[in-house]
Structure 1
Amino acid sequence: MSHFDTVSLAPADPILSLTEAFKADPNPDKINLSVGVFVDQSGVTPILDTVKEAEKRMLESSTSKSYLPMTGTPAYASLTQKLCFGEELAAQLQGRVASLQTPGGTGALRVAADFIAKNLETKTVWVSNPTWANHKGIFAAPGLKVETYNYFNSATLSLDYCGFLESLEAIPAGDVVVLHGCCHNPTGADLTLEQWEDVARIAASKKWIPLIDFAYQGFGDGIEEDAAAARIVAKAGLPAFVCQSFSKNLGLYQDRVGALHVVTDDASNYANVVSQLKISVRVNYSNPPAHGGAIVTTILSDEKLTEQWHAELAAMRERIASVRTQFVDALKAAGVERDFSFLTQQKGMFSFTGLNKEQAVALREKHSVYIVDSGRINVAGITDDNIDRVVAAIKAVL
């Protein structure tokens, strides 16, 4: 008998396990469209020039590897607040928004989940149907109940806005509603400015709490445009959580850099909220890693570096938009009868293709093209070198 005989085999992660299968595939022409990383035209996930310059400066100026505060540095908190809410609104929120550096956007979500489970009256969190595969696990981990609201019409492969609003109207007061700030993962179907105003109005009327997962700022329409959700909610005076990530827009995947902003509806609650966030951090990872946060701080505190980063981010965004158009055109030129034009209306790296699980499995097993069973693809993984093979494989499984 072993003390570990009671341990059962956990199910494989639906996305990361595909990366493992991809690496083990001996086919030299294999293509990975499952994992959510940006790649350039050559198929490489690049280190941005601004990041290299920031690291060069850090190497020359660093004097210590001592611990950071539990919440990260004040400079990081201030700069990420301004990026998220804009300078004017961030100034207005002073004394009401608690911000901390976290290990990636996932770390921000988990700290938020722990805080909600321990401190709020509600024990229910609502996520979109569909949503990022890790959302349910993150919020269930501290004992929260996870429910779903309507979001996407799988028949039309577009936003089900009427169903979405009906769901929001029915959510009980006090519950937490997870909303994708931009570049909805996995569908790529986003809300308009007017629709975000509707969301804020319903949240205020029904008194539920928005939690905005903000992982792709700058990958949709632009840095300022993509921040509309967080800014509209904050301007409405609503309590809210915003979970920010710099994995995608600064390419800091392995550095795990994120931020959690908790907007209180009453400044008198600020100190209590900060104290409880610190406890959540302390029992989880104690304090955040310094390197990635220092990169973000270095770039955002230098006007020229920030301007250069904006240009690099715009190039990434434009590449994704261009790939969408090329992909749709290539499918049509190849004689694929199904209409994929909806792909050009979606934003960010991800899209639902409408392919079913059997077709996704066939793509992997017969063509070494790796996509998630739901039919979600990472559009950024398509390059000039592999687009013809991707199109031929999809045509074959259809």
Structure 2
Amino acid sequence: MFNLSNDRKLSCLAFIALLITVLFSQTVTAANLNTIQQQIKENKQTKAQQQKQQKQLESELEKSEKAVASVALTANQTKTDIEQQRNALVNLQKETRQLNEDKAIQQSLLQQQLVSAYMTGENDLVKLILNQEDLSKVVRARSYYKYLNDARLESIESLHETEQKLLKNQESQTKTLASLEKLYEQQKQRQANLTTEKSKRDKALQALRKDINYQNNKIAKLNNSEKALRARLKKAAEERKRQQVAAAKIAAAQAIKNKNIAKAKAQAEAKAAAQTTANSQANNQANRQTKTNSKLASLKGKLKWPIEGRVLHSFGSSRSSQVKWKGIAIATNEGEKVRAVATGRVLFAGYFKGYGMVIALDHSDNYITLYGYNQTLLYKAGDVVLEGDAIALAGHSGGQERNTLYFELSHKGTAEDPLRWLSRR
């Protein structure tokens, strides 16, 4: 139902009454005709104003959701940094314990040396010389005392070095703790910013839903968004295919050139060694290419789910009176990791009206998977992702009322039922 204002209702009633009067009267005056034309003009102006307001609200919604995605991505990176700092702090604490153990051992050794020097004090080198002891005995005693002095000096120096390391270690721990606390404060601030951006987004969404033209245009926009997104994905796929063909031609020409050069330069033994190396490199490249361009057709019914959750809307079910679901909608929690169901290359990553933050993967052989309604995206167009990689964080962008992941799988531009491709739970 539309939420018309009282003035608008009165205006409509007056217009209807006037129209009935004109239709049933035998004579239409110029004043009547001018009044009708003025009413039509006012209605068109009101509609244009409402459409302008709707576009403004949609723009605010898009900006808000992009801001939420940016803040969420930064918060996710900060969590990783904090975990790394904690691991570094654990290592510093282990090193400190080891240094304290070394210090205790060095102190004990120095103590023993001092006791030994004290116990032999009655026969020190000066007494031996004054008593005119045998020269060989004096020489041996002198060497012995020199050894003891050197050992004591070495122990004292080692102890001093250990204490310096402890001091430096403690300073490093202090800095690490300070850095960790700073990161934690930044994390709390980013979370506060995220909450603020979410509040802005929710207000914009509520205002959009109150717009009287929104419900009228919703079905048409769903159809237009779907067609526009598919056209964009098709164009991106065609461009990538063109690049692959060009790259294949260059690679083939280079391979022929390399083969001719190798044939001209290589001797019997060198040629055999070069061939072995070339075979090894070719196998590695082939393995990498096979891993990157995995055949999705062979994985039907075996794909892992992109996220855990209950299926809210199934493929082919009615989305509205004129639109059906081309994928499935899965209930999830905000911030949950969305994972790639198979290895592929990012074909599109960004905001798309009606789908929110979207990431689409090209799995070769004209297979494409699409993940929509995300909070933020973790990869950009052109990146290669492997099966199971986290590619996005779940959310409710695109004007969704609850946290949901939209998952779609298509072949040659035709959507297929994802439940037939995903493994049974």
Query: For this structure pair, what is the TM-score category when the shorter chain's length is used for normalisation?
Result: under 0.3
- By percentage of residues, which structure has more helix? 2
Higher relative contact order (CA 8 A, sep 6+): 1
Larger radius of gyration: 2
Normalising by structure 1, we get a TM-score of 0.21
